[in-house]
Chains A and B, each alone.
Chain A
């Protein structure tokens, strides 16, 4: 079955191995090979990629913000295409997204929310 990258992959939802929503495909990375056709390397899930698609400056600003979260941050989070298993309307990941940067903002907020009663 042919897959159209823009129609079937870009902006579609990712669901991880626990069934949690793990963001959307914000960008697709292709590799150009000498003499061969381009290959899909990975998908990006990141507010940095999202920002850059709208406006370069917005993306750079997102990257600066993201850098504060740790030494390896500040670049878009990439998932090798080999870790993306199912291709329906939603795309499936074969790992848990919880410990990855996809959930960084969620974890940061959760820590602060847990001090509010009822959370």
Chain B
């Protein structure tokens, strides 16, 4: 491993900020803390391990084979199979993109008191403009730097001095004492927020954009686990802060504004603006990632030219794909979908569709035509398969219950 490769950690941090600590993880973690104390921390831990495993695999796949996951899905499984994850992930990713744009708008609404739907188009335009004019490296490094503002949650969690035995007991899964349906719905939402397929599909494209080769396999492991652990710890910090500031006062989260109060106690004005900035930047980077992920999936599946470093005129179909995706997402907000409900629902829906995106990927990760001697070990196969199946079953059971109850 060359020292210079360690700079690739920015891809890990970018992926983590946008892919892990985004509006979904922030709001599901905050809600879990406000409603159930530390009890749901295990879901964040499980989500972190599963996502880090998937991200590591995805990067290894790109580095060794030079192919992205979407490339291989179409080649190996054929058109009829490819169309299933394409449609399922396409629909979920558009909703996710709308949710992330909603997170940006919510931050702007808290800052300016101008309603969310008015911010939808400006937020979409900003996202589009950066993709249109920027390069992959510029976006990745910019977002990683700005994303460090989310460390504010970690600082707040330390300042609030949580009861460590409570935190530790939350890391072990336990049955809820009350509101069982809501508990499991939040658990799957947390898992869905962590393990978004758009993110690890995105990451393999990122590896190819960065021209990784076999010498990057070791770096990739550090980048994936380092970056995602960073996101997981901050996500856990959000939950811990929510327990100590929101739950302690009996505040539940029905609006983004209520969540914005969570950092007021430990950090006062800095905390308030820290929350607003974190929500904006995390959602922004996620919107960039998801928009790119959608365009990558289509372009690679159909064999088009693609690449964020190319000028839009050199990959016109690719550029038009993300443009359309962004504005469809924004329209969902303009017509008045509630961003917080949309976020929670999308996260649960992601969990329900996880096997469609993950199982074929696991098959590819065990294919030596692509990976040679770098195929998966039994342990990583088992951990990911187990988590994904659990998340899916829980989602299928709890989504109807939540819709009926709430």
Contact = CB atoms under 8 A, between A and B. Distances in A.
A54 interface: yes
Contacts of A11: 74-75, 78-79, 82
A53 B83 CA distance: 11
A24 B316 contact: no
Nearest to A105: B317
B306 interface: yes
Nearest to A110: B316
Nearest to B82: A11
Given A6-B78, A89-B65, A109 B302 contact: no
A106 B321 CA distance: 12
Nearest to A10: B78
Interface residues of B, number: 26
B67 interface: yes
Given A109-B316, A118-B132, A21 B83 contact: no
A17 interface: no
A113 interface: yes
Contact of A113 (B82, B316, B370): B316
A14 to B, nearest CB: 7
B405 interface: no
Contacts of A118: 132-133, 312
A118 B312 CA distance: 8
B303 interface: yes
Nearest to A14: B303
Interface centre among B74, B306, B370 (most CB of A within 10 A): B74
Given A11-B74, A24-B303, A89-B369, A54 B83 contact: yes
A116 B311 CA distance: 12
B285 interface: no
Contacts of B71: 13
A62 interface: no
A50 B83 CA distance: 11
B313 interface: yes
B304 A109 contact: no
A21 B24 CA distance: 35
Interface in B269-315: 302-306, 311-313
Interface in A79-110: 89, 105-106, 109-110
Interface residues of A, number: 26
Nearest to B78: A11
Interface centre among A105, A113, A114 (most CB of B within 10 A): A113
A105 B302 CA distance: 12
B80 interface: yes
A106 B317 contact: yes
A13 B76 CA distance: 11
Interface in B303-349: 303-306, 311-313, 316-317, 319-320
Contacts of A24: 74-75, 302-303
Interface in A1-23: 6, 10-14, 20-23
Contact of B80 (A13, A20, A53, A110): A53
A73 to B, nearest CB: 18
Nearest to A15: B303
16 contacts: A10-B78, A11-B78, A11-B82, A13-B303, A22-B303, A23-B303, A24-B75, A24-B302, A24-B303, A106-B305, A109-B316, A110-B313, A113-B319, A113-B320, A114-B313, A119-B311
Interface of A: 6, 10-14, 20-24, 26, 45, 50, 53-54, 89, 105-106, 109-110, 113-114, 116, 118-119
Interface of B: 65, 67, 71, 74-75, 78-80, 82-83, 132-133, 302-306, 311-313, 316-317, 319-320, 369-370
